[in-house]
Amino acid sequence: MEATTLWRIRGAVLAGIFGSLLLFLGLGYGVDHLLDTSPKGLLVGLLLSFPVSNILGIKLAKRFVLPTSSTS
């Protein structure tokens, strides 16, 4: 595998992990702000982002690593 391909895989996986983390933490912060439930929304957002980011990272890694079966 080429170095550029490895960096593309790493970038996609890291973007997926940090993107989902920021999304769920942002939603948790918004819920905290609206409902005045100080740390609870952030904690729920953090707990929800963990499995989502892992599933997304695994799917992205599989897409880049596993060869596509082309029948020609």
**Is-contact 61 13, C-beta < 8 A?**
yes
Q: In the Cβ-directed half-sphere of 12, how many Cα atoms lie within 13 Å?
A: 16
Nearest-10 Cα torsion for 50, 52, 55, 57 = -80
Q: Quote the pTM value.
A: 0.74
Delimit the domains of the chain by residue range. Answer: 8-64
Separation CA 27–CA 53 (nearest Å): 15
SS3 percent helix, strand, coil of the chain, rounded to 5, is: 80, 0, 20
pLDDT, one tens digit for every residue, the chain (72 residues): 677 888 888 888 888 889 999 999 999 999 999 999 888 999 999 999 999 988 888 888 788 777 665 555
